[in-house]
Structure 1
Amino acid sequence: MKYIRKRQEPPEFKNWKEQANSDWQPDFKNLAGKPKEILIKALMTEQGEICCYCENRLIDGKCHIEHFKPQSDPTVDPLDYANLLCSCQANLTPSEFRYCGNLKNNWFDENLLISPLNPDCESHFAFNDDGAIKPAQEDDQKAINTIEKLGLNLNKLKALRKAAIDPFLDEEIDNAQLKVFVNGYLCLDDQQRYNPFWTTIKYLFSDLIE
């Protein structure tokens, strides 16, 4: 889970909300078309195009707008940009495994869920080179619960993490080359995107980071 620094909401989204009148009120259910497209793109860009929870690559059309605090809570404004994230998976069939925002669904407990909007979120998690994620502190119930509720240790995500890790474990790469590889991987690319599973690589090769 990588820290997400929220930016200003897109002007187009803000303007759409401001069209409220006596006959029409903006609601998440009627968010569609250009305002929704622009909102999703803004959230993807804000996150460097990686999922807010698992950090897999976000693909337009295969991700969804995630409410960190669920919109089922009557005290939550479903159009509050500060509460909106972008999570992987969209348009799933009933048989497909759910994880991240789709598995979390409407569950929320601020005492048991780590937020990617908290600057220290990364420090709660550790990784093994087989792709497994675990609490950085064994007794961190918040991290334990977050991993479970988001499905972050499902076999699919572990396999994807391992696929990201394996190139760094190539025995033919010397330490100097590995250092360049790691630091390059952790930089934004020319499209302002982070590489998938950014915090996994950062954690496992922290001693090589400049």
Structure 2
Amino acid sequence: MKYIQKNPEPKELKQWREDQLAQGVNFTYENFKNPEKRITRQSLLQEQGWICCYCCKRISLEISHLEHFDPQSKSDPVLTVTYSNMLASCGPLERDPADRKKSVKWPEHCGYQRGRDHKHNNETIRKNAALPIAPHHDPQCETYFTYRSNGEIQAVKDHPRAADAQEMIKILNLNDPDLIKARQLILRTLQGLTDTEAQILWQRNQNRNQQGEFRSFCPAALDYLRQNFNLP
């Protein structure tokens, strides 16, 4: 997880709400369509550096969805179209060849997984469970998690927020096998580095590239470099 510095909402979203009010229509999420919806999601992706708000996997407009931190089912309708409650999370893995707008396969982690009942170690996790850590409100959220060499994410032992971190892992299924495998591949590339190489990769994983993108799973890479090279 990585802290998300929220930007001002897109002017198109603000104008859409004003237009809806002028027409006497409630500005609910059900009425929120393209192009304003697509523009809003692109703005979210840009402020997140094109990585998922929860797992930090690289995402794009095609493989992301608009996530509500305060779930739609539990929100005031106005909050469902409030930019400060919106994030971009992992999206569909496959689409219907006959209808590219129709998703047929979703990842079993992050926002989609949160939005349905699922099992975790024989415990039933109810859909839209409240999340105890907000990546867009908590600048320290990255420090609550650590990563094993096999790609598993864990709560930092004895940290005051360890229980909250573990709850996030459970609700969002952040140890989904696909995520573990992807993080493991990233961590393998960091083995055997010289101190100079570690410093270079530290900077690359800390910062956005020229296109404004963060590296996929950059918090896992930074955690590894911090542990193995005494980096801050």
Partner residue, 2:87: 85
| C-alpha deviation, 1:97, in angstroms | 4.4
**Aligned: 1:102 with 2:116:** no
Q: Which amino acid aligns with 2:196?
A: A
Rounded to whole Å, the distance in 2 between the matches of 1:5 and 1:83 is 13
* CA shift digits 1:74-128 (9 cap, x unpaired): 436111111100001236536x542100011152335xx2211211211211111
Partner residue, 1:166: 188
Rate the CA distance shift 1:80–1:177 in 2: closer, same or farther, 3 A: same
Rounded to whole Å, the distance in 2 between the matches of 1:185 and 1:6 is 20
Rounded to whole Å, the distance in 1 between the matches of 2:11 and 2:27 is 15
- CA RMSD of superposed structures (Å): 1.9
Q: Is the 8 A contact 1:67 1:78 kept in 2?
A: yes
Equivalent pairs, count: 205
Q: Which amino acid aligns with 1:107?
A: N
Rate the CA distance shift 1:97–1:187 in 2: closer, same or farther, 3 A: closer
Deviates more, 1:177-186 or 1:196-205: 177-186
List aligned pairs for 1:105-124, cutoff 5 A.
105=115, 106-110=127-131, 113-117=132-136, 118-124=138-144
Rounded to whole Å, the distance in 2 between the matches of 1:209 and 1:109 is 34
- TM-score (norm. length: structure 1): 0.89
- TM-score (norm. length: structure 2): 0.81
% same residue: 27
| C-alpha deviation, 1:208, in angstroms | 5.3
Q: Which amino acid aligns with 1:103?
A: Q
Rounded to whole Å, the distance in 1 between the matches of 2:28 and 2:45 is 21
Larger strand fraction of residues:
2
Partner residue, 1:70: 71
Q: Give the gaps of 5 or more residues in structure 2.
A: 93-101, 116-126
Partner residue, 1:51: 52
Q: Which amino acid aligns with 1:116?
A: P
| C-alpha deviation, 1:184, in angstroms | 2.3
* CA shift digits 1:11-62 (9 cap, x unpaired): 0111011112354222211211211111011000010000000000012111
